[in-house]
Amino acid sequence: MEECPNRKVFDSLSSSFDRIDEAAWFIRLMEENYHSANKFRWSLNSFLRTLKEIMQLVSMEVQGSKELSKLVAAKKSELSNDPLIAFLYKQRDIVVHKEMLKPASRGSVGFTRGRGMKLGLDLPIDPLSDSREAIKKYIYFAAKDTDFMGILYTEEDGGGEYTCVQRQWRLSQFPETEITELAASAWEKVAQAFFDVAGEMGAKLIKPTFKLGNPNQVQFEIYNPEWVKEQLEDFKKLIAKNGA
């Protein structure tokens, strides 16, 4: 029985297929660790590295064919001329050879009923700090003075309202677009270039798409009222002890 084309192509490009899956996995890790600054940044770094490695691996795996090598070179050139891909490739080189990447980080402290921010105060969040540090700063202020925004929920009130932080990460070249959206778009572009090569080899593949998680879940960190109450009481004790 003749081996199916997809299996033959997959075996020939197994390392490249593995790397495209790895890149997608790092986007998921960014979403899962969205409010943990170091884990988010490290996942982004790993995504940037694997993204650039995909077409490099494709080049290695087709090097025995002049026609395929020529096609891969053309696809790599197209990707390098894409503003988003070119920028991310450059960020990868900076991370690997020069210094750590610190994306822009902003957020809002406020409250939610489970869908969107109902009332919030915008503020920058240090890209090296977890989202929890932002709400702790507000709780400390409230302990010294007052919860002037009325966003600290210290007990269940039956209304389904919770104190929260909404956070967003950005890169300087694309300040209007959230980082995981950029990553998903870049992944689709590189995956399509790779799939075009696999298609030339006889594989039948669907258009690659990356579906991100719900922003109302990814970008929001919701705090248990009991935890908020504990933080508020601890700060009040600290302020009373230190007199400031």
The two structure tokens encoding residue 134: 């932002």
In the predicted model, what is the mean pLDDT of residues 101-119? 87
Q: Which tops the pLDDT comparison, 19 or 99?
A: 19
Per-residue pLDDT averaged across 110-131, rounded? Answer: 86
pLDDT number for residue 1: 34
Q: Residue 70 and residue 77: Cα distance in Å, rounded?
A: 11
90's tokens: 């450059």
Q: What is the pLDDT of residue 169?
A: 97
Token digits of residue 22:
């790895």
Residues 114/212, Cβ–Cβ less than 8 Å = no
pLDDT at site 121: 83
Place of tokens 């210290």: 154
Determine the pLDDT at residue 115.
Answer: 76
Q: Which tens digits make up the pLDDT trace of 3-43?
A: 456 888 989 999 999 999 999 999 999 999 999 999 999 99
CB-CB contact of 180 with 168 (8 Å): no
The predicted-structure confidence for 128-162, as pLDDT tens digits, reads as follows: 999 999 999 999 999 998 888 889 999 887 778 89
Mean pLDDT, all residues of the chain = 92
pLDDT confidence of residue 5 = 65
What is the predicted pLDDT for the residue at 7?
A: 86
The separation between the first and the last C-alpha atoms of the chain, rounded to the nearest angstrom, is 81
Q: How far apart, in whole angstroms, are the C-alpha atoms of residue 189 and residue 76?
A: 11
pLDDT in tens, 196-240: 999 999 988 899 999 999 998 999 999 999 999 999 999 999 998
Alpha-carbon distance of 214 to 3, in angstroms, equals 40
Single-letter amino acid code for the residue at 239: I
What pLDDT, on the 0 to 100 scale, is given for residue 4?
59
Residue 2's pLDDT is what?
A: 43
pLDDT recorded at residue 244: 58
pLDDT in tens, 164-192: 999 999 998 999 999 999 999 999 999 99
